[in-house]
Structure 1
Amino acid sequence: MRKTTLKSKSYVQEIKGTKKYDDAEALSTIARSISMNTGASKQRMIAEDIIRHGNVRVPAEVFTFRELANATENFNPELLVGEGGFGRVYKGYLKKTNQVVAVKQLDRNGVQGNREFLAEVLTLSLVHHPNLVNLIGYCADGRQRILVYEYMHNGSLEEHLLDLPPDRKPLDWYTRMQIAKGAAQGLEYLHDTANPPIIYRDFKASNILLDETFDPKLSDFGLAKLGPTGGEDHVSTRVMGTYGYCAPEYAQTGQLSTKSDVYSFGVVFLEIISGRRAIDNRRPPEEENLVDWAKPLFRDRRKFKMMADPLLEGNYPVKGLYQALAVAAMCLQEEASTRPLIGDVVTALEFLAIRTDEVNSETDV
């Protein structure tokens, strides 16, 4: 079955010699092998197949479990820096390269961990951009599925934006706009440069990581999905992602498109502007859902300032706030076709991220 369904290694070597060999060919070849799999032994075989495709920039290293256990002091709880639905992330240190890394140990229970592992290795082996996290390597020893990334010193956007502890300084307006711009540029690369396009499908504040200078990088590509090809405008798939960030058409019908990512970006951008969570059950019922709270306010210019994060203490350009809210509102349109392309969002954010001397007063509006 494998010989008749998959393209052979010799075929891959053959197309490598032609000018037509590109990421699309490598991607489709690996994707077909992933779609076949059910068993653990095939999972291991596929993980190995991924690194055999010469055109794909493979992770620098395939680690043993022992190496990563040593790097994290046997996955010491004190080195735990994050925890999500798919596993735990530890801060680690690789002695032989003198490198601080982030080590994500996926949950070994169920097939979902394997799917995320394969999707992540596949995606990050094919896409390269300053606003996408760099995958250093991985481990597929036995039932272990571990991913090793560059370490992002400032953690996630969520940690600097939502429910701040008293000792943490809130992000200023222009840092917020710079982060939004960089995150949008990462999406733009996935949508417009990757071939075929990739739909991220899990855009949220906790998946936007920040380096020493607060430049953002998208992480967690376990839910990434190949975008539509052949003139189609969407792909149909089971609904996955995080409640509060999913586009309505995707949540209702399973129809996924790049415009679904644009909606999710709109939710996060509204979080960046307002300092409010997408879903916050501690607030009054009419304010629990961020988008539902914001929609009536979008229609009344006099209420725009109510949507600015109180932690900004009024230190933002009023024009910039109004323009940012306009961008968020466009991204959050109910109909996917009326949302802007992410490239247009990037263009708008490039202007919003430029520092001005504008004073925060109504006379400037």
Structure 2
Amino acid sequence: MGFSGKFFFVSLFLIHLLTLASSQQELELKKCLLDRGNFTSNSTYQASLNHIFSSFTSDIENDYGFYKVTFGQNSDQVNAIALCRGDVIPGDCINCINDAAAELRSLCPNQKAAILSYANCMLRYSDRSIFGILERSSFKFHYSWNGYKAKNITAFNDTLNNLLDTLISRAASGDSHRKFATGTAAVPDSEPIHALVQCTPDLSQQQCTSCLSFGKIKLCCDGELGGRAVGPNCNLRFETYSFYDPTPDGPSTSPAPLPRPAPPQSPSPSDDAHKVVPGTVSLLLVGSESTPEF
């Protein structure tokens, strides 16, 4: 085979790899909670979990991207929360949640509680109640940042914290369908800051404020030009480029009812922070495995 033929096949191979990479979701956080116990294959608990996972596939009428689902009884009951980023359209939201469900099947094949968070959605489930509960025992965030420092750190931090305070107040005042806010702020001698904050809408206004305030980026990312904090109840992110689609922060005008499957026949920043190479996302599993968190 000549050079041109080899180059052709190598090019096809590289294109294939790039296609695979682009089709994958951007993974931010994963955790299988071992202390909640395991279920056995083909058990009633597994059937309940499978039923919940399958319930997401066809609910495209939900245009606010938040799901609370319970299925099963007694020790076989599964409680699940799925949340999409507020600017994600319904079709992409469902695809992201289904990808998360498929990955959780692989990552946590028999754990009764787990969480997985992508850039566009989060899915968590547990055998205990998780609705409207702020996970104080797991007030540990996954932090990441891009490694570039602002020229004027003081001015940048002041602008960022003021922006986050405004967005946190706006998101926390959202309703039971959406607690999400985005915004931009100008910084002297720097690119503008773009930021996003979000809570699971089952939290109260006070709970959402508490969650986002605890996870404020300044705990880990002093002077960084980009950073993220991801937890089981809330998340926030900021960059010096726009990473979200313009969308109203408030709830949808005609929210669909939350789906209910029909019955079948304080951490320290040094521990929880992790620097990432620009353009990549780090994974850091935080929190004690001995403490119920999800």
TM-score normalised by L of structure 2: 0.30
Higher share of residues assigned strand? 2
Higher share of residues assigned helix? 1
TM-score normalised by L of structure 1: 0.26
Instruction: Specify which structure has the bigger relative contact order, considering alpha-carbon pairs within 8 angstroms and separated by 6 or more residues.
Output: 2
